[in-house]
C-alpha cells in the first residue's frame, strides 16, 4: 500500500522479454531412440548421439549443434561488422571444440580471417568475437524455464 495514496500499487515491472527465435524438437523412435527431428524456424535439422553412445549418428550430437551455433554467430557477426566498417574481410573460418573434466566444460574457439586486413583490424575483429550475441548468452548463463506442454 502506498503511504501517499492509501492504495495498493502494482509491482514494479521488470524488463519485458521478447522471443528472438524458437525451435521445436521431436523425437525418439524404437529403431533410433536418440535421433530427434529439429525444426529451427522453418529449417529442418536432425540431431542424434554417436554410435559409441548408443545413437545411430544420423545427425550432429547436441554439443556439436551448440558449437555450430556459436561458430555461426561469430562468423556472421564479424562479417556484419566488417561490412559496416567497409573493411576488406574476405572470409571467416571458426574452429570450435568442447572439452570437459567431468564437472566443468570449456569451449575453444580459433578464428581465421582472410582478406587485406591490417593488424588493428584483425585485433578489433578478434575483440568483437567476445561480444557476439551467442558468446554473451553462454558466458552469462541463460536462464531456462521448463514447464510441461500437454498434448
Q: For position 11, what pLDDT does the model report?
A: 56
pLDDT band at 1 (very low <50, low <70, confident <90, very high): very low
pLDDT digits (tens, 9 = 90+) for 69-93: 999 999 999 999 999 999 999 999 9
pLDDT exceeds 60 at position 127: yes
Measured CA to CA, the distance from residue 93 to residue 125 in angstroms comes to: 13
48: closest CA among 27, 72, 67, 75? 27
pLDDT confidence of 132, banded at 50, 70, 90? very high
pLDDT of residue 8 exceeding 90:
no
3-state class (DSSP) for residue 108: strand
Q: Which of 108, 115, 32, 109 is nearest to 79 (CA)?
A: 115
pTM for the full predicted model: 0.82
H/E stretch holding 142 reads none
Q: pLDDT at position 22, please?
A: 83
Edge to edge, what strands does the sheet with 43-47 contain? 23-29, 32-40, 43-47
Return the residue matching grid coordinates 555461426.
Answer: 72
Helices (H), 11-143: 62-85, 119-129, 133-140
Cell reading at 45: 535439422
Q: What angle do CA 63, 150, 62 make, to 5 degrees?
A: 5
pLDDT the model gives residue 14? 67
**Mean pLDDT score across all residues of the chain:** 90
Amino acid at each position: 500500500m502506498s503511504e501517499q495514496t492509501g492504495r495498493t500499487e502494482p509491482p514494479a515491472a521488470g524488463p519485458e522479454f521478447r522471443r528472438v527465435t524458437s525451435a521445436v524438437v521431436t523425437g525418439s523412435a524404437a529403431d533410433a531412440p536418440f535421433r530427434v527431428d529439429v525444426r529451427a524456424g522453418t529449417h529442418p535439422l536432425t540431431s542424434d548421439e554417436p554410435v559409441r553412445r548408443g545413437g545411430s549418428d544420423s545427425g550432429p550430437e547436441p554439443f556439436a549443434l551448440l558449437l555450430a551455433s556459436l561458430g555461426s554467430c561469430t562468423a556472421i557477426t564479424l562479417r556484419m561488422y566488417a561490412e559496416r566498417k567497409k573493411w576488406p574481410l574476405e572470409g571467416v573460418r571458426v574452429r570450435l571444440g568442447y572439452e570437459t573434466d567431468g564437472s566443468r566444460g570449456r569451449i575453444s574457439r580459433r578464428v581465421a580471417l582472410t582478406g587485406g586486413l591490417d593488424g588493428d583490424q584483425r585485433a578489433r575483429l578478434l575483440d568483437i568475437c567476445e561480444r557476439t550475441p551467442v558468446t554473451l548468452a553462454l558466458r552469462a548463463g541463460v536462464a531456462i524455464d521448463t514447464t510441461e506442454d500437454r498434448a
